[in-house]
A and B are shown apart, each in its own frame.
Chain A
Amino acid sequence: MRILLVEDDPTVRSFIAKGLTETGHLVEQADNGKDGLFLAVSEKFDVIILDRMLPGGIDGLRILETLRAQANATPVLILSALADVDDRVAGLKSGSDDYLTKPFAFSELLARVEALGRRGRNEAAPQTKLEVGGLEMDLLSRSVRRDGQKIDLQPREFRLLEFLMRHAGQVVTRTMLLEGVWDYHFDPQTNVIDVHVSRLRQKVDKPFSQPLIQTVRNSGYMLRAD
């Protein structure tokens, strides 16, 4: 993916750029709002990572608002030290697709950026059926089958599996699951998500030879058919 990174702190910038490059992405960098805005409007990117507070008179939200005013729908992830709920709401209201607060774990950032890039690609067609390996999910009849065998899921388990399948092949962090499946925007501290995932595994993976739900160390989970 081609990613634009607008961040003024050199350490954080080079850390992110390095990490993203290592995972196979192309990264353009800007260290102030002016250059960032110029790059964002003049070139095509798959995802833009924006810091909110930037030197040069143009802050992250201004860049975002300008982009959206030009009907540029490039997915934007705001990366900010402004962590208040109100700040988050302001960011999402001005058109960002995701909001990550500093300090952050790189794995979290990577997972979110990849999810955004993917979303940008297959947003066009609303799906009624998801399929990964032998696992099929019918979103209309809300039924799940694996290798032709029906799997009974609780409503919440169904939504958890749906989220994983929509992000198949990507790392999904625990926070992403909490936000995406439960709509909780705080850290419950305990390993609640792990337990839910392990329950889902009991139903989806245990009876079959090939496990689909993988644990990614230090980051989260990934649904993948090898």
Chain B
Amino acid sequence: MIRFRFSASGPERQSSIRKKRRFSYAAFRHHIGGLRSAGVRFALGYAVLFWVSAVLFLSVIWWGTAGLLERQVEASVSADARALSERWTDGGLSALALTIEDRLEDNVDDDALYLLVDPHNQRVAGNLSAWPADVAMSGVWYQLTIRRAGARGVAEVQAFDLPSGYRLLVGRDVRGRTNLRRLLTDTLLWAWVFITVLTLVGALLVRNMFRRMISSIARTTSAIAHGDMSRRMTLSGRGDELDEVAEAINEMLDRIARLMDGVKQVSNAIAHDLRTPITRARTQLEYAALHAPDEAALRSAIENGVSDLDNITAVFEALLRIAQIEAGSRRSAFAVFDLVAVLHDIVELYEPVAEEQAIRIIPRTPSHVLFYGDRSMIQQAVSNLIDNAIKFSPHGGTITVSAAVGPDLSCDGKSSGQAATIAVTDEGVGMNEADLERASERFFRADSARNTPGSGLGLSLVQAIVQLHGGSLQFMRRSPGLSVELHLPVSDTGDTRTGADMNQDSQSSHPQDRTTMIKRHP
């Protein structure tokens, strides 16, 4: 019974084991990620580099040490041979034999080998019994296995020819040194094994570190890609390269959010505020088509319709322009120009219009203010302000257009630079506080302005332009009238570096720009 059950479950178990193994292999592959994973490539690169340099290092040690031993032996044998040949020259055969015996006696390590033979290969002096058969030529190194005092050893020897057929063999027993060399080789081999293990462990560590570094970025960006625009990278606060990447990504996300916001606002504006004039134009044209009594009435209705459409186009263009400026994409036209010249030009443009209503425009400016920005936009902003001032000035009033450069006080106190202030002051009806707070909103029109022509976009555009230049817009109530001030950061030198500075300013002070500051003046 039991056996039966066992045999029945056998294949099942086997297949389940195989499945498990295959699964774990897949999991392993997934875990490692193959060569397509940057982490694995990084780790492999590290491992190969480390391993190769370690092997090179060990080889150099090995060759250095073993080679040094060999060279030492060769040098001492050569020195010996030279000294002995000098003895031969000085004292002849007997002196040489005597010296050899002396040397052997003095040899504490007992590693020196000498053999002096006569022309009949008979031993004259030395501690070797017979001339080794292998050694035939002189001046060449031979490695011999010798048997001395019952122990085998390895020796390095060289033969020298002496006059009248005598021959001399000088060598060293290098048994001890061979042992040392073997020891060294063993040690280095072990070191190599350990290094290989260390390499593998290190590579794994590197890969995991890499993966940890990347995974938080990957998680956040994929969350954003799936629509969660509010997510931001978490900063470790160490200010390292990863934080830099995270900050750059966060900045990019802020900018994208701002762009999307702009698009949303424009589409809202189109949906809500363009419907009204379109409806008006449509109604008018439809009514004329159905009920116009004669051609003249029809023509005038069509003309009205066309001018309504022109107004819609103007509003539409203003909206797009505001959105575009707010997105900060129009920095390409930034250059250094003289603000004062621009102001005088605008004043000159509007003077005749103002004079028709007996309004005086008085410019109060220094002779030059160099400013880095978009000339055409500043023109438009100031034009809008003067245009407004003329609209709301009483007959015979005065409008002051002033420019000045002073320390930048408008920003959060951190900026130490200079700011240009352009102020347009009128003596008109002014605005109450509630209206002032909403003055730069799109399509906002104060009750007192309902009957003047305009779209309610003028100040929004000014606000957007000022924001692009990293500045702020302020309204100050006068009695009577209103003063609108543009505070625009300016650099002392006006060089191109300012572009980057302003870039930062406009980004960091972005939330502050929105708040409209109101100050009371007695």
Same assembly = yes
A interface residues with partner B (beta carbon < 8 Å) = 83-86, 103, 105, 156, 182, 184-192, 195-196, 198-199
Lowest 10 CB-CB distances: which A-B pairs, in order?
A195-B352, A195-B353, A186-B380, A192-B353, A199-B352, A188-B383, A103-B313, A196-B352, A192-B349, A190-B387
Contacts of A187 in B (CB 8 A): 314
Any A CB within 8 A of the CB of B379 = yes
Contacts of A185 in B (CB 8 A): 376
Closest chain-B Cβ to A95's Cβ sits at a distance in Å of 20
Contacts of B453 in A (CB 8 A): 189
Closest chain-A Cβ to B307's Cβ sits at a distance in Å of 10
Closest chain-A Cβ to B149's Cβ sits at a distance in Å of 100
A85 touching B330 in the complex, CB below 8 Å, given contacts A103-B309, A186-B380, A188-B387:
yes
Task: Find out whether the CB atom of A192 lies under 8 angstroms from the CB atom of B376.
Answer: no
Closest chain-A Cβ to B114's Cβ sits at a distance in Å of 96
| A225–B379 CA distance with the chains assembled, in angstroms | 36
Contacts of A191 in B (CB 8 A): 353
Closest to A218 in B: B303
**Contact code string B332-371 (vs A, CB < 8 Å = 1, else 0):** 1100000000000100111011001000000000000000
Closest chain-A Cβ to B356's Cβ sits at a distance in Å of 6
What's the interface size class on B, roughly?
20 to 34
Contacts of B332 in A (CB 8 A): 86
| A156–B309 CA distance with the chains assembled, in angstroms | 33
A-B CB pair tally, cutoff 8 Å? 48
| A156–B350 CA distance with the chains assembled, in angstroms | 12
A192 contacts which of B310, B314, B350 (Cβ < 8 Å)?
Answer: B350
Closest chain-A Cβ to B380's Cβ sits at a distance in Å of 5
| A118–B350 CA distance with the chains assembled, in angstroms | 31
| A191–B353 CA distance with the chains assembled, in angstroms | 8
Contacts of A198 in B (CB 8 A): 352
Contacts of B387 in A (CB 8 A): 188-190
Closest to B390 in A: A190
Closest chain-A Cβ to B367's Cβ sits at a distance in Å of 18
Task: Find out whether the CB atom of A190 lies under 8 angstroms from the CB atom of B353.
Answer: yes
Closest chain-B Cβ to A9's Cβ sits at a distance in Å of 17
Closest to A185 in B: B376
| A196–B350 CA distance with the chains assembled, in angstroms | 9
Any A CB within 8 A of the CB of B509 = no
**Contact code string B320-336 (vs A, CB < 8 Å = 1, else 0):** 10001000001011000
Any A CB within 8 A of the CB of B407 = no
Question: Can you list 27 contacts pairing A with B, beta carbon distance less than 8 Å?
Answer: A84-B324, A85-B333, A85-B376, A86-B330, A86-B332, A103-B309, A103-B310, A103-B313, A105-B310, A156-B348, A184-B349, A184-B383, A185-B376, A186-B380, A186-B383, A187-B314, A188-B349, A188-B383, A189-B314, A190-B350, A190-B353, A190-B390, A191-B353, A192-B350, A196-B349, A198-B352, A199-B352
| A182–B348 CA distance with the chains assembled, in angstroms | 10
| A5–B376 CA distance with the chains assembled, in angstroms | 31
Contacts of A199 in B (CB 8 A): 352
Any A CB within 8 A of the CB of B454 = yes
Contacts of A86 in B (CB 8 A): 330, 332
| A190–B330 CA distance with the chains assembled, in angstroms | 26
**Contact code string B285-322 (vs A, CB < 8 Å = 1, else 0):** 00000000000000000000000011001100100100
